[in-house]
Amino acid sequence: MIFKFFFLVAYFAFSAEASILSPPYPQTSTDQSNVLRYLNGGPFVENTGFGLPLDPPYGCKIEQVQLFMRHGERYPTKSAGKTFETLYQKLKNDTVTSYSGPLAFVKDLEYFVNDPENYEMESTKGVYSGLLEAYRLGAFFRERYESLLDSSSVVPIFAASQQRVVDTARSFGKGLFLDQYNSSCSIQIINEVGKMNGANTLTPITNCLSYNTSLYQHTFGENIYQAEAERLNALSPGFNITPDDIFTMGAYCGYELNVKGKSDMCQALSMDAFQALQYQDDLQKFYQFGPGHNMSAVSGGLLANASAQLLQEDRKVVFSFMHDNDLLTYFTALGLPTDTELSTEEIEFHRSFKTSEFIPQGARLIIEKLNCSDSENVRFIVNDKVYPLPGCSSGPGFTCPLEETIELLTPEHEYAEACGLPDDRPHELTFYWDWEPTFTDN
């Protein structure tokens, strides 16, 4: 009898039909151990979202799509690169007789930027290539929004003027139009150098004369970085890792992933260190370009107001490429980060504001206008996940009714007045309407 009992247990445990060991819905949760969620400058990672499907709600048809996107994965800036090179030289020059522990990889480590000309440019190789990510997104748009594309007319793609942004826009356009790229797509470069463009810009932070980005002066994580440095020095004798090195190592990890697709530096750091690194970056962004800055929503309101105007038109597609900080002000204007302040003393684990959720490399905000039988509604997709607007989700599939969306997108303060723009600079954003087809920059 006992034998029969154990036989039945074994049968059901290993029977493919019973699926006891392979439940249809996984009972594990590993997403938050993904290192991409804790990196400063690392590769794109999807928003965690709310489980809502990307397919349009039942009875709804997409009438218009707007895309606001950060440039894709890139090499570090020249200044960051100098810091990484200094760390690299220090690690290679430390007196180590026997490479062991978390830093054993340093013995064979090679610096990941092999050409100084690549600094600040999009990455072109590896699984996290910035240009490849943009191309694939363009291909996704071609499939998803094919009915909105008119092959007989020229489609503008608007891009801030820094080369990495323009390159991302071009790669997206090539993925979208394939062999018709040169005839169907016109890259519209919006100058971001200086402040003469005033409100007619994709980089409203730069052009806002009253926007002070030096308000945040706090530091965070010294004790955690100190403990991490002591851990590494104990486990890998011969190195002299300092708390400052920990911050640099975290950033090194992210950019090496962008360029090479892998990084042993990521494996060396503990999750405690990554939590502190992420929170330090979140604090800086929150108080410089997020809800913690009094001018952030004003800056993002410029682009939000343009979206509101476009939603009221018959235009089918609108594509815009920019930088992370300007995109973050747009998210702030929408009210998507719901925190009003963040502690500078300890990590607030229950915060909604995380830079990896809103502005990783290649971050994108997709706005879809939907015709739902007897109503028009709008939904927002943040980094590939449907993201209902706080306080406005009464439409089908938790969308926001068009009229309410337009009201929410209309800024409380006029950008030109709040930013103190002089009379000789544009006080309105007009490039979405007064552009002219050009193919010289394709």
pLDDT on residue 163: 96
Q: What confidence category does residue 31 fall into, taking pLDDT thresholds of 50, 70 and 90?
A: confident
Contact 34, 287 (CB under 8 A): no
In percent, the amount of the chain with pLDDT more than 90 equals 84
Q: Is the pLDDT of residue 386 over 50?
A: yes
Q: 222-241: string of b/e by CB count within 10 Å (b at 16+)?
A: eebbebbbebbbeebeebeb
Contact 329, 296 (CB under 8 A): yes
In this predicted model, which residue has the larger pLDDT, 194 or 222?
222
> What's the rounded mean pLDDT across residues 109-118?
94
> What's the rounded mean pLDDT across residues 36-59?
94
* Dist. CA 216–CA 213, nearest whole Å: 7
Contact 216, 292 (CB under 8 A): yes
Domains detected in the chain = 45-74+129-211+295-434 (3.40.50.1240), 78-118+218-280 (no CATH)
pLDDT on residue 14: 47
In this predicted model, which residue has the larger pLDDT, 14 or 143?
143
> What's the rounded mean pLDDT across residues 289-315?
96
Q: Is the pLDDT of residue 406 over 50?
A: yes
Q: Is the pLDDT of residue 187 over 80?
A: yes
pLDDT digits (tens, 9 = 90+) for 259-284: 999 999 999 999 999 999 999 999 99
Q: Is the pLDDT of residue 40 over 90?
A: no
Q: Is the pLDDT of residue 384 over 90?
A: yes
Q: Is the pLDDT of residue 156 over 70?
A: yes
The closest alpha carbon to 295, from 378, 374, 191, 216, belongs to 216
Mean pLDDT of the chain: 92
| Catalytic member of 55, 71, 108, 384 | 71
Q: Is the pLDDT of residue 89 over 70?
A: yes
Q: Is the pLDDT of residue 6 over 70?
A: no
Determine phi and psi for 319, rounding to 5 degrees.
-120, 130
pLDDT on residue 20: 62
pLDDT on residue 2: 52
**How many degrees, rounded to 5, is the angle at CA 238 between CA 235 and CA 241?**
75
Q: Alpha-carbon torsion 199, 200, 205, 207, what sign?
A: negative
Q: What confidence category does residue 11 fall into, taking pLDDT thresholds of 50, 70 and 90?
A: very low
- Cβ partners under 8 Å of residue 3, min gap 6: none
Element (H, E) at 319: strand 317-322
Least confident of 65-69, 195-199, 284-288: 195-199
* Dist. CA 387–CA 50, nearest whole Å: 7
| Catalytic member of 245, 324, 423, 427 | 324
pLDDT digits (tens, 9 = 90+) for 215-233: 777 788 999 999 999 999 9
In percent, the amount of the chain with pLDDT more than 70 equals 94
> What's the rounded mean pLDDT across residues 317-344?
96
Say whether 71 is catalytic. Answer: yes
Q: What confidence category does residue 1 fall into, taking pLDDT thresholds of 50, 70 and 90?
A: low
In this predicted model, which residue has the larger pLDDT, 164 or 93?
164
Contact 172, 135 (CB under 8 A): yes
Say whether 350 is catalytic. Answer: no
Q: Is the pLDDT of residue 12 over 60?
A: no
Element (H, E) at 391: none
Q: Is the pLDDT of residue 252 over 90?
A: yes
pLDDT on residue 382: 98
Q: What confidence category does residue 29 fall into, taking pLDDT thresholds of 50, 70 and 90?
A: confident
